[in-house]
Amino acid sequence: MTIQISSAADKMTSTNTFANGQTQINPPINLLQVTPKRKVTYIFDTRATSAQLKIPYAVAVNGKVLPVYANKPAKVSGGNGKIEVVVDAGSTVSLFLNSDAHPSYRTAPVYAVRPTQRDIVVKVKEKGGKHQDSDRPTLVNASAQQAGTDEYTAPLTGNIWMKVSHRYTSAEALSLLPNITLPEIRTAVASIYGPLAHPSLILDLPATPGKGAIRVKIVFSDSENPRDNITDYELLSDGLTRVHPAGYAALLHAAVENGTTSLNVTSCWRPLLGSIAHRAGLGLDVNYVDNIRLNREELRQSKAVHTPNVSTQEKSLFTELEASRKKVAALLNQGASKAEVETAQLLAGMAQRRWVDEVRNGEPRSVKDFRESLLRDGNVNQLFDPWYMDLNTHDNQPPEPNMQRPNVNGKGKSNEQLHANHLHITVREPRIL
């Protein structure tokens, strides 16, 4: 028996010739063309500014975002966190990052690579200073390659941070504000994205029965961080416009509700400093409410700026509290009896209540009322200030007093220390963070 095979583009047929001269034609067989798979891995290193960053991202293959990210981005750690995806060889893989990873935006893909013969690893490293580097990954020296893997490097500069940070329009601002927002506040917020002609915003509300006319002025201070790390940056057109409009609306609403006439906003969007909230345009900082400076650093620092916000009595009570807490820790380390430890803990609890009462009694009423309005705002997700810290304003847990405790590892300032000199809000936007 002999077998003759003829093939077409994607089909194969065969014939069998037997000794009696008869020939049998077999049915065609479909050929399976298997495309090899390749793995693409991105590794993020933002330790130059903060290894704790959780950067929103969505993966796209051949320009189409994968279904798993359709409604919400995932997050990758800046402390060598990894994004891994397996694709057909020859496919183009790219990322949408930061606020641009929001399902409604995704206009600025970055770090595109196309694996063909080998897997690919892209090491993305944050870099400070003014740079015009492309986000296109660069293949490293062949001697540094791992077996079967092409290794690339790519920068994460201030320019690239700005590229992946969504810039809102006035129309978008209006669409994102709740319908219950006062018309005057809606108009004022939308004007920020015009952009503004000057670093200030004035809101005027006419008098109503039982309530006089209201004027609120917000002054915006520029930040050194974007100016030092972006080649072409301007506060009014590039900074303020990258902040979610609900943040501005929350500040204005709280001001109107409590008769606050002036606010000073010290930080909005910025690329290479602090939490992901500011980098994603969800954070706003305020250091003055009317003429009250929001600073309590002298609670722990004798040479800090002096304000009426920390009384002599409070300092004395805080010293007692710290001593009582140290005693509890010492007894635990010494293996003291249960009764001794419990007694010390009871005294420490009493000392803390005395200090908390003094903090509450000494806080300016206008600051307290302003905070309470923000805590009730459904678009505010976090609030930190020199008096209180609230990591989640929607968990029905009261804010905790800001004790300005240092980091346990002693490295850098803790979140409490960072917010000893201003009030911070984080906008609630689950499709970004």
pLDDT digits (tens, 9 = 90+) for 349-372: 999 999 999 999 999 999 999 999
How much is the pLDDT for 347?
97
Distance CA 173, CA 249 (A): 10
How much is the pLDDT for 17?
57
Instruction: Say if CB 382 and CB 393 are below 8 A apart.
Output: yes
Q: How many CA atoms lie within 13 Å of 77's alpha carbon, on the beta-carbon side? A: 6
State the pairing for strand pair 283-289/292-293.
antiparallel
How much is the pLDDT for 144?
57
The residue to which tokens 């200090």 are assigned: 355
CA 200 from chain centre, in angstroms, equals: 25
From first CA to last CA, the distance across the chain in angstroms is 69
The residue to which tokens 């670093």 are assigned: 199
How much is the pLDDT for 410?
76
Compute how many other C-beta atoms are within 10 angstroms of the C-beta atom of residue 115: 22
Question: At 136, phi and psi to the nearest 5?
Answer: -70, 125
How much is the pLDDT for 142?
63
Sign of the alpha-carbon torsion through 317, 413, 53, 161 = positive
For residue 85, the one-letter residue type is V
How much is the pLDDT for 3?
40
The residue to which tokens 């503004």 are assigned: 196
Question: What are the residue ranges in the chain where pLDDT is below 50?
Answer: 1-10
Distance CA 399, CA 166 (A): 31
How much is the pLDDT for 241?
98
pTM for the full model? Answer: 0.90
